[in-house]
Amino acid sequence: MARMKFLCDADRCIECNACVTACKNEHDVPWGINRRRVVTINDGKPGERSVSMACMHCTDAPCAAVCPVDCFYTTADAVVLHSKDLCIGCGYCFYACPFGAPQYPRVGNFGSRGKMDKCTFCAGGPEPDDTAVEYVKYGANRLAQGKLPLCAEMCSTKSLLAGDGEIIATIYKERVKQRGYGSGAWGWQTAYRETITG
Amino acid sequence: MRIQQFLYLFAALILAIGIVSGPVGAQNQAGMSQSDTGSNPTAQAVSEQKLLQELDRIQGRVTIPDRKSGVLQQPEGREYRAFHEGALPWIAGILILGMLLVLAVFYMVRGRIRMDVHSGQKILRFNVLERFTHWMTATAFIVLAITGVNYFFGKRLLMPLIGADAFATWSHWAKLAHNFIAWPFMLGLLLMVVLWIRDNIPDRYDAAWLRAGGGFFNNAHPPAARFNAGQKLVFWSVILGGLAISASGLMMLFPFQFANIAGMQIAQYVHAIAAVVLIAVILGHIYIGTLGMEGAYEAMGTGEVDLAWAKEHHSAWVEGEKVSSASVRPSATPAE
């Protein structure tokens, strides 16, 4: 089985936000929730870089560790998923997540949160693959259809790569070798305790 | 016409210089940055490693309304995890079980502290408002304590017994209870300050009371006013601990309204530590108010205590009460 990862080549990202839009559309993500976002660092200054970020599907995921109801699980493809039937919306996973991936619909009183929603690597949830009930809760299950996440498929500059970690790392290394520079695989050290040097 | 010809010649000369010198300049630049394809556009680029070393957190600009999503990376989430899954269960376990153990040993050694004499007369110790405040806060605290420790002990102790689904349902209701019961608890704290702060300011009896160990280890009854030093310690633990819990709790009830991600994590540390310390203190308070001492429960139960008990435990207070009011009354029909 593959070890699925995301890799954002910050030297290619043009902050077009097509990945964000594709994700929202593909999964019917409700208003106020962003499974993926583009963050621009040093905006307007020399050396500005944009990074598209979502759940990185960490090795030994911190969200899963702090969850008080143990609603997280890791698939055979190393995708970190969760069960909305078990989630109580406590918000702990957001405090533990290094990438700000978990999102909560605001429901009811005070700031109380609904059940957590996050990037599924387009792999759905615990319900049977490609069913209506799975779609309503977790969105499309493209992995079950043999497709990769739509955000990366849509990326116009091929900045965002999604797929088996070794394959996308090889692609990135070739790029860095070819063009002679690369600012590294953002988030890899934090998420997977390894990084790619070109 | 000569001027026009001269201009043509001049333009051609500039063009020629440009063609010859351009690639040379570019190659020099490329040679400096060791690149095969041209100038190095990453020469000034932000580096993830450098940002993390400098700031501990990478932050930028986002175009969506959710401002807090501008935090690209916060590796301190790892410390939060280490606290929540490592330190906290140990601290809570040691404090709570440790206090229960201390109380059990104390009960076995000292036994129940008995009332030496009964006078048959009663004196009003806590009026209706005071008892209402106590029991509202007490009930709220017990609910909050159980639903609170459920956040980290639940999956370790309860989930293996009842299964993931039942535990998730219970935890969902526990979370709602924790959010809502927080308000009567905070109201109770405010009322307690108003009602009791006057009698909980340290006075001249406290040092002697503490030096005598409160009479817990012998049968001495060091003098005390309305509240003895031990009760004052409980009062101030509840007020100060409650304040820390309430402030940090309000931050969590309104996430990211008052703090950023680092502030939210600190709020959790304060909330959890103050709460487990207070749970341990309250366990001691419950013990001495019920099982540990005869005659103590009535003070908060009926509000009235035996005059002899009051004289033993709160001598200075009884003196003051006798002078000021007619709150002392016979408990049963007088003999004559």
Q: Binning pLDDT at 50, 70 and 90, where does residue B9 land? A: low
Bridge partner list, A40: A50, B61
Burial of A196 (0-12, 13-18, 19+ CB in 10 A): middle
Check if the beta carbon of residue B327 is closer than 8 Å to that of residue B321.
yes
Interface of B with A in 20-59 (CB under 8 A): 33-37, 40-42, 44-49, 51, 58-59
pLDDT of residue A108: 67
Does B83 reside within a domain? no
What tokens were used for B262? 């680092």
User: How close does chain B come to A79, measured CA to CA in Å?
Assistant: 19
The more confident residue out of B221 and B187 is: B187
In the A/B pair of chains, how many CB contacts fall below 8 A?
Answer: 171
Q: Binning pLDDT at 50, 70 and 90, where does residue A151 land? A: very high
Domain A4-192, CATH number (from 3.40.50.300, 3.40.50.720, 3.30.70.20, 3.40.50.1100): 3.30.70.20
Contact B164 A87 (CB under 8 A): no
Q: Binning pLDDT at 50, 70 and 90, where does residue B240 land? A: very high
CA distances to A88, B163, B329 from B325, in Å: 54, 59, 11
- Identify all chain B residues contacting A54, using CB atoms and an 8 Å cutoff: none
> Of A142-146, B9-13, B86-90, which gets the smallest average pLDDT?
B9-13
Q: Binning pLDDT at 50, 70 and 90, where does residue A197 land? A: low
User: How close does chain A come to B168, measured CA to CA in Å?
Assistant: 5
Residue B68 sits at the chain A interface (C-beta within 8 Å)? yes
Q: Binning pLDDT at 50, 70 and 90, where does residue B219 land? A: confident
Residue A66 sits at the chain B interface (C-beta within 8 Å)? yes
Find the CB nearest B72 among A34, A53, A91.
Answer: A53
pLDDT of residue B320: 85
Find the CB nearest B58 among A41, A110, A113.
Answer: A41
Burial of A20 (0-12, 13-18, 19+ CB in 10 A): buried
Residue B67 sits at the chain A interface (C-beta within 8 Å)? no
Contact A62 B159 (CB under 8 A): no
pLDDT of residue B26: 44
The yes-or-no verdict on residue B327 having pLDDT over 60 is no
HEC sequence for A78-133: CCEEECCCCCCCCCHHHHHCCCCCCECCECCCCCCECCCECCCCCECCCCCCCCHH
The residue among A61, A79, A59 whose CA lies nearest residue A124 is: A79
The yes-or-no verdict on residue B30 having pLDDT over 60 is no
Q: Binning pLDDT at 50, 70 and 90, where does residue B10 land? A: low
The more confident residue out of A161 and B330 is: A161
The mean pLDDT value for A25-31 works out to: 93
User: How close does chain A come to B54, measured CA to CA in Å?
Assistant: 14
The more confident residue out of B303 and B37 is: B303
> Of A12-26, B116-130, B160-174, which gets the smallest average pLDDT?
B116-130
The yes-or-no verdict on residue B336 having pLDDT over 60 is no
The yes-or-no verdict on residue A100 having pLDDT over 90 is yes
The yes-or-no verdict on residue B191 having pLDDT over 90 is yes
The yes-or-no verdict on residue B37 having pLDDT over 60 is no
pLDDT of residue B23: 47
Domain boundaries, chain A: 4-192
Which position has the token pair 């993926």? A36
Contact A51 B72 (CB under 8 A): yes
The yes-or-no verdict on residue B32 having pLDDT over 50 is no
Q: Binning pLDDT at 50, 70 and 90, where does residue B7 land? A: low
Burial of A80 (0-12, 13-18, 19+ CB in 10 A): buried
Bridge partner list, A113: A106
Bridge partner list, A9: A185
Interface of A with B in 139-198 (CB under 8 A): 178-184, 186-187, 189-190
> Of A64-78, B88-102, B296-310, which gets the smallest average pLDDT?
B296-310
Bridge partner list, A8: A160
User: B115 by DSSP, 3-state: which?
Assistant: coil
> Of A126-135, B149-158, B166-175, B221-230, which gets the smallest average pLDDT?
B221-230
Find the CB nearest A190 among B36, B73, B80.
Answer: B73
The residues, any chain, with a CB within 8 Å of residue B39's CB and separated by 6 or more, are B26, B29, B30, B33
Q: Which amino acid makes up residue B24? A: V
Interface of B with A in 157-196 (CB under 8 A): 159, 164-165, 167-168, 171-172, 175-176, 179-180
pLDDT of residue B48: 83
pLDDT of residue B28: 42
Domain containing residue B169: CATH number: 1.20.950.20
The predicted-structure confidence for A42-52, as pLDDT tens digits, reads as follows 898 888 999 99
- Identify all chain A residues contacting B179, using CB atoms and an 8 Å cutoff: 109-110, 112
What tokens were used for B197? 């702060």
Interface of B with A in 190-249 (CB under 8 A): none
Burial profile B70-98: b = 16 or more Cβ within 10 angstroms, e = fewer: bbbbbbbbeebbebbeeebeeebeebbee
pLDDT of residue B18: 56
Does B211 reside within a domain? yes
Percent of chain B exceeding pLDDT 70 equals 84
Q: Binning pLDDT at 50, 70 and 90, where does residue B33 land? A: very low
The yes-or-no verdict on residue B41 having pLDDT over 80 is no
The mean pLDDT value for B223-234 works out to: 92
Does B10 reside within a domain? no
Interface of A with B in 7-36 (CB under 8 A): 10-11, 17, 20, 32, 34
Contact B35 A180 (CB under 8 A): yes
Find the helix or strand (DSSP H, E) in which A44 lies.
none
Does B3 reside within a domain? no
The predicted-structure confidence for B253-300, as pLDDT tens digits, reads as follows 999 999 999 999 999 999 999 999 999 999 999 999 999 988 889 899
In terms of CA atoms, which chain B residue is nearest residue A179? B37
Q: What's the mean per-residue pLDDT of chain B? A: 86
Q: What does the alpha-carbon distance between residue B68 and residue A8 come to, in Å, rounded to a whole number?
A: 21
pLDDT of residue B275: 97
Q: What is the DSSP letter of B254?
A: S
Contact A88 B175 (CB under 8 A): yes
The yes-or-no verdict on residue B239 having pLDDT over 80 is yes
The predicted-structure confidence for A155-183, as pLDDT tens digits, reads as follows 999 999 999 999 999 999 999 999 888 88
Q: What is the DSSP letter of B85?
A: I
- Identify all chain B residues contacting A91, using CB atoms and an 8 Å cutoff: 252, 255
Contact A181 B253 (CB under 8 A): no
Number of domains in chain B: 1
pLDDT of residue B19: 57
Domain that holds residue B203: 125-216+226-330
